[in-house]
């Protein structure tokens, strides 16, 4: 499911992807020195290494890309500030092609976004709810999210929004929203939200 990107994928779109994190009440900001004592499991190099196969999966010519890594922090569902890594894959002209956000404490993927290969408005590749759910599960597995928790299930009925399917998958600890093109099945966004402790089911 490689993507053929074009030059319309701008920094503004990437900023929109970052803003998507606010959906689960996680505010991004520069990492504060006060967090230096917090133990982290993922380094900048490890974040870049984790992002590399995602870039290869989503981009038709990954050898043309460079990676940019930035340290930020977010306010999690516990009200505390947590360190994150933002790793962007950028082409030779400086266009952001793939955007990823990683939890530095767990090493888990929080968000992936990229400009998808879009269909031409003809035959829809996924024609029923089961096929849509299978595609969402494919992206959870391909991006490594399925391994972060057991018992993933479709949490609500898939929704069709213009040319994209929106599927919410749930586990006891996380919700993952998967958005993909309804014609090509190419990924648009994947956002993982940790459930508040009181809202978890076991």
Query: Comparing C-alpha atoms, which of 13, 143, 29 is closest to residue 84?
Result: 29
Share of the chain above pLDDT 70, in %: 73
In three-state form (DSSP H/G/I as H, E/B as E, the rest C), the secondary structure along 46-115 is HHHHHHHHHHHHHECCHHHCEEEEEEEEEECCCCCEEEEEEEEEECCCCCEEEEEEEECCCCCEEEEEEC
- 104 and 159 belong to one structural domain: no
Boundary residue ending a domain (57, 88, 115): 115
Please identify which residue in the block is written with the tokens 């290869």: 56
**Angle, CA of 51, 4 and 47, to the nearest 5°:** 5
Kindly state the tokens that stand for 17: 């992807």
- Alpha-carbon distance values, 3 to 69, 118, 131, 139 (Å): 22, 9, 20, 14
Q: How many domains does the chain have?
A: 2
Boundary residue ending a domain (115, 138, 172): 115
Whether residue 78 is predicted with pLDDT greater than 80 in this model: the reply is no
Higher pLDDT, 187 or 35: 187
Boundary residue ending a domain (70, 95, 115): 115
Helix (H, G, I), strand (E, B) or coil at 145: helix
Whether residue 188 is predicted with pLDDT greater than 80 in this model: the reply is yes
- 138 and 185 belong to one structural domain: yes
First to last CA, the chain: 34
The whole-number pLDDT of residue 6 equals 43
- Domain with 138 in it: what CATH number? 3.10.450
- 144 and 111 belong to one structural domain: no
Helix (H, G, I), strand (E, B) or coil at 54: helix
**107 contacts 50 by C-beta, under 8 angstroms:** yes
What is the span of the domain harbouring residue 75?
1-115
* pLDDT tens digits, one per residue of 99-157: 999 999 999 999 999 988 776 656 667 678 889 999 999 999 999 999 998 889 999 99
């Amino acid at each position: 499911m490689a993507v053929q990107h074009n030059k319309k994928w701008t920094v503004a779109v990437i900023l929109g992807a970052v803003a998507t994190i606010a959906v689960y009440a996680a505010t991004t900001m520069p990492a504060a020195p006060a967090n230096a004592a917090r133990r982290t499991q993922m380094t900048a190099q490890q974040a870049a290494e984790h992002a590399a196969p995602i870039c290869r999966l989503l981009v038709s010519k990954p050898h043309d890309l460079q990676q940019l890594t930035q340290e930020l922090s977010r306010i999690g569902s516990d009200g505390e500030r947590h360190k994150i890594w933002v790793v962007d894959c950028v082409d030779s002209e400086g266009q952001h092609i793939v955007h990823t956000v990683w939890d530095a404490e767990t090493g888990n993927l929080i968000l992936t976004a990229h400009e998808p290969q879009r269909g031409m408005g003809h035959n829809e590749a996924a024609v029923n709810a089961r096929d849509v759910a299978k595609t969402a599960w494919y992206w959870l597995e391909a991006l490594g999210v399925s391994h972060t928790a057991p018992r993933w299930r479709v949490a609500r009925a898939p929704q069709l929004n213009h040319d994209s399917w929106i599927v919410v998958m749930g586990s006891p600890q996380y919700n993952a929203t998967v958005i993909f093109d309804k014609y090509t099945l190419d990924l648009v966004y994947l956002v993982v939200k940790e459930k508040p402790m009181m809202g978890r089911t076991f």
